[in-house]
C-alpha cells in the first residue's frame, strides 16, 4: 500500500513547475552528440537495424569496458536484464539474496516465480554485509549487490565484491548492478568479467548518461552466463536508444564532467543539511537517504504539496526518505521547502 501511495505521488500527473527529484534521473538529459545521433537515425525507423546499430553499440561498449564483444549484451535499459537474470538463476529451490535497504526490482521477479528472498541489512558503514549474504542460504541462486547502492548511494569495496566471488554458494551467481557507478570514484568491475568470474554486471544509460526515457543498457558477462538469461524475453532494441548510447560512450569526457556536476550539487546540499542539523547517509551517487524522524511518507506528501517530488521510503528505514540530486536550482527549491515542512 505504501508503495502504491508513493507511486501515486511520484508518477502521477505533476505540475509543469514540479521539482522531480524522485526517480534518480539526470536532469541534464542526453548529451548533444546523443541527440544528434537520434535525429539522424529517426527517419530510418522503418527498419529494425538500418546500419548495424547493435553491432556498433557492442563494439564501442566492449572497447570502453575492456572485454570481448561476445561479453556484451545490449538491452533497452537495465531492468530487462535484471529481471531475466533473476528468472534464469533463481527458482522455488534457489533463492535471491540482497541488501536492505536495496533496489527491490529483482526481489519482485524472484517472488513472482516463487523464489525466496533474503534481505540482509547493510552494515553500519552502509556497505553490503557480504559475509552474511554469502551465509544466508546454501542454495542461493543470485547474490544481488547494487554498487553504489540504491537507495543509499553508498559503496561496497572491491575486496568485498571479490569475497562474494570466492565465498558464494556453489551454483549461484553474483549480479552486480552498477547503474550508478559513473557517479562515484569507484572503478567499474568489468575486469572481473574479463577474468571470467561468475558475475553478471548490469549497466544503464538512464542515469549518468541522462537517457532514462530513451532506453539503453547492457549486461556484461561471460557468454555462457549471458546465454542462460537471454531466452527470458525477446524483441529488438529501439535504434534511437542504441545510437544515442553509442554516441554517448564515444564522448570520452562526458562521464567525468557529469560526475563532477553531480558531486558539486550533492556536496552543496549536504553542507546545507549539516548546517541545518539534519542527519543523512553520506552518499557517493545521485541520491541520498535523509532522516526525517517521523513516518517518511508524511514528508513525501508534505513536500509534494510544495511541488517537490522526492523518492520512496524503505520499510526497514521507515523514517528515512530518498532524495535524488537534481539541478542546483531544483535543490535550492528542495532546501526551502524542506525547512518549511519540517518546521
Shortest spacing between CB 315 and ligand PLP, in angstroms: 17
CB 210, CB 313: distance < 8 Å:
no
Shortest spacing between CB 80 and ligand PLP, in angstroms: 7
Shortest spacing between CB 160 and ligand PLP, in angstroms: 17
For ligand PLP, which is the closer residue by CB, 146 or 249?
A: 146
For ligand PLP, which is the closer residue by CB, 207 or 222?
A: 207
Shortest spacing between CB 106 and ligand PLP, in angstroms: 8
Alpha carbon distance 182, 262 (integer Å): 10
The sign of the dihedral angle between the CA atoms of 306, 283, 79, 101 is negative
For ligand PLP, which is the closer residue by CB, 86 or 337?
A: 86
Q: How many Cα atoms within 13 Å fall on the side-chain side of residue 224?
A: 4
Alpha carbon distance 342, 258 (integer Å): 31
Residues that bind ligand PLP (CB under 6 A): 24, 77-79, 82, 103, 146, 150, 177, 179, 204, 206, 212, 217
At residue 309, the 3 state secondary structure works out as strand
Alpha carbon distance 83, 79 (integer Å): 6
For ligand PLP, which is the closer residue by CB, 238 or 295?
A: 238
For ligand PLP, which is the closer residue by CB, 79 or 156?
A: 79
For ligand PLP, which is the closer residue by CB, 202 or 331?
A: 202
β-strands 95-100, 72-75 pairing: unpaired
CB 266, CB 288: distance < 8 Å:
yes
Shortest spacing between CB 294 and ligand PLP, in angstroms: 25
- Tell me the three cell numbers of residue 189: 568491475
Shortest spacing between CB 271 and ligand PLP, in angstroms: 25
At residue 317, the 3 state secondary structure works out as strand
Amino acid at each position: 500500500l505504501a508503495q502504491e501511495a508513493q507511486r501515486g505521488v511520484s508518477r502521477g500527473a505533476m505540475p509543469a513547475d514540479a521539482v522531480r527529484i524522485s526517480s534518480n534521473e539526470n536532469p541534464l538529459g542526453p548529451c548533444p552528440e546523443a541527440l544528434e545521433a537520434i535525429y539522424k537515425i529517426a527517419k530510418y525507423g522503418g527498419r529494425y537495424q538500418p546500419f548495424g546499430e547493435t553491432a556498433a553499440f557492442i563494439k564501442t561498449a566492449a572497447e570502453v569496458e575492456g572485454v570481448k564483444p561476445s561479453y556484451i549484451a545490449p538491452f533497452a535499459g537495465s531492468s530487462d536484464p535484471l529481471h531475466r537474470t533473476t528468472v534464469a538463476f533463481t527458482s522455488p529451490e534457489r533463492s535471491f539474496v540482497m541488501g536492505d535497504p536495496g533496489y527491490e526490482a529483482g526481489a519482485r521477479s524472484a517472488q513472482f516465480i516463487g523464489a525466496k528472498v533474503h534481505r540482509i541489512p547493510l552494515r553500519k558503514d552502509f556497505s553490503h554485509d557480504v559475509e552474511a549474504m554469502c551465509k544466508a542460504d546454501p542454495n542461493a541462486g543470485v547474490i544481488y549487490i547494487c554498487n553504489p547502492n540504491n537507495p543509499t548511494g553508498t559503496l561496497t569495496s572491491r575486496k568485498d565484491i571479490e569475497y562474494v566471488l570466492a565465498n558464494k554458494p556453489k551454483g549461484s551467481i553474483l549480479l552486480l548492478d552498477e547503474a550508478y557507478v559513473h557517479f562515484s570514484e569507484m572503478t567499474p568491475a568489468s575486469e572481473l568479467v574479463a577474468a571470467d568470474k561468475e558475475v553478471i554486471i548490469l549497466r544503464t544509460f538512464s542515469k549518468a548518461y541522462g537517457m532514462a526515457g530513451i532506453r539503453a543498457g547492457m549486461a556484461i558477462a561471460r557468454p555462457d552466463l549471458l546465454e542462460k538469461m537471454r531466452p527470458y524475453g525477446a524483441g529488438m532494441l529501439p535504434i534511437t536508444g542504441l545510437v544515442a548510447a553509442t554516441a554517448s560512450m564515444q564522448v570520452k569526457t562526458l562521464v567525468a564532467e557529469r560526475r563532477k556536476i553531480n558531486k558539486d550539487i550533492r556536496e552543496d546540499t549536504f553542507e546545507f543539511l549539516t548546517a541545518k542539523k539534519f542527519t543523512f547517509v553520506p552518499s557517493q551517487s545521485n541520491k541520498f537517504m535523509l532522516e526525517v524522524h517521523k513516518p517518511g511518507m508524511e514528508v513525501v506528501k508534505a513536500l509534494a504539496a510544495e511541488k517537490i517530488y522526492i523518492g520512496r521510503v524503505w520499510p526497514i528505514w521507515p523514517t528515512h526518505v530518498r532524495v535524488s540530486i537534481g539541478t542546483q536550482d531544483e535543490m535550492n527549491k528542495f532546501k526551502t521547502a524542506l525547512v518549511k515542512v519540517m518546521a
